[in-house]
Amino acid sequence: MGRIYLKKAKSEEDLLKRGRPFTVEVDELKIPFCVSPVTNTFDNKKKVFLTFLGPVKQFHEAIHLCITSLYRPTPYNKYELTTNVDDLTCTPDIKNMKESYLATIKSESLNASTIDNFLSKKTSIEKLTLGMKVLDNFQEDSAIFRMKYFWFTYSLEHAPIVLSKFQGTHLWMTDANIKNEDIISFLNTWQNSECDRKIFEIKVSEGMNPLNPDIVYEDIDVSDWDPAERPKEFNFVSTFFPENFNKVYDCSTWMDIKRSGDGKIASICITSNAFKFLVWD
């Protein structure tokens, strides 16, 4: 399936400019809307723009019910609802929502409290992407730390706390204002089994502070690759949105650390602008 973009019309005149309106009904409320299908030439996927006049949340819910009654969403058959909102209170009450992509337009931002409040009401979400800058600090027990999959595109000054408190399996952060000591602290905690973490993969693209692998490795008990301990290649299969992909990492030049509790091995790759961490099963 393609992507569905929702836009609220400014007036009835604005709506009628887009063509002959249809009507959808929810809670005995009739909401007019127009449909404008467009083909995305970049990935050749269909985009559908729905311009409507009425309450945002009710229209979201009506469109969600229409789509799920026509199609049964599967991991390979998904739809996206994209709309211009800034408080997230208009999102439909979708049961068992597993994934959420939150983003803003024109490099705008959201408050951390807004995101925390949204996640507190969507407790079934396991996969989260934050595609915007976040203001203020997340709560100490924020649900973002408990996401199974978390992609933070503008992690900036939030990166150190997310790295230290993340409890999921896959963490990706870009534009991360992270320092050598943040990575050292994380690796020491993991290596000494000081927390019950099920981390499988971490990828951090550094922002302002260049990393120095030599400084990190001096403070951590690391070793070169030993073929007797683990394979050369790490076969990675991801179902994390926005896309599914397979990747083979050549870890022959990566450094290894071993966890004291269960003997699990993790491979580390650190450059001046990136930190990668993979745990072998």
pLDDT in tens, 153-166: 999 999 999 999 99
Range of the domain at 65: 1-87
Do 151 and 172 contact (CB within 8 A), yes or no? yes
Residues 122 and 216 in one domain: yes
Residues 277 and 228 in one domain: yes
Q: Which of 29-33, 84-88, 223-227 has the highest mean pLDDT?
A: 223-227
Residues 142 and 20 in one domain: no
Relative to beta strand 170-176, strand 201-206 is parallel
CA distance 114 to 102: 11
Q: What per-residue confidence (pLDDT) applies to 258?
A: 95
Q: What per-residue confidence (pLDDT) applies to 206?
A: 78
Of 40, 71, 87, the position where a domain reaches its end is 87
Place of tokens 């450094």: 255
Which of 6-15, 142-151, 166-175, 247-256 bottoms out in mean pLDDT, i.e. has the lowest?
6-15
Residues 132 and 263 in one domain: yes
pLDDT in tens, 50-85: 888 888 878 877 887 777 777 665 544 455 556 555
Residues 105 and 227 in one domain: yes
Q: Which of 26-35, 167-176, 238-247 has the highest mean pLDDT?
A: 167-176
Q: In this predicted model, which residue has the larger pLDDT, 256 or 201?
A: 256
CA distance 63 to 66: 5
Average confidence (pLDDT) over 171-199: 90
Virtual torsion, Cα 167, 169, 170, 176, nearest 10 deg: 20
Sign of CA dihedral 258, 264, 265, 268: negative
Residues 275 and 164 in one domain: yes
Q: In which order are the strands placed within the sheet that holds 99-103?
A: 99-103, 127-131, 149-152, 170-176, 201-206, 274-279, 265-271, 255-258
Residues 138 and 121 in one domain: yes
Residues 219 and 104 in one domain: yes
* Average pLDDT of every residue of the chain: 84
Of 87, 108, 138, the position where a domain reaches its end is 87
**What is the percent of the chain where pLDDT is above 90?**
44
Residues 255 and 120 in one domain: yes
Which of 43-47, 119-123, 127-131, 252-256 bottoms out in mean pLDDT, i.e. has the lowest?
43-47
Domain count, the chain: 2
Element (H, E) at 46: strand 46-52
Residues 102 and 230 in one domain: yes
Residues 129 and 69 in one domain: no
CA distance 223 to 248: 21
Of 87, 104, 133, the position where a domain reaches its end is 87
Q: What per-residue confidence (pLDDT) applies to 178?
A: 94
Residues 33 and 124 in one domain: no
Average confidence (pLDDT) over 237-244: 58
Tokens of 6: 């929702």
pLDDT in tens, 16-38: 888 888 898 877 889 999 988 77
Helices (H), the chain: 12-16, 56-70, 112-121, 159-165, 180-191, 213-219
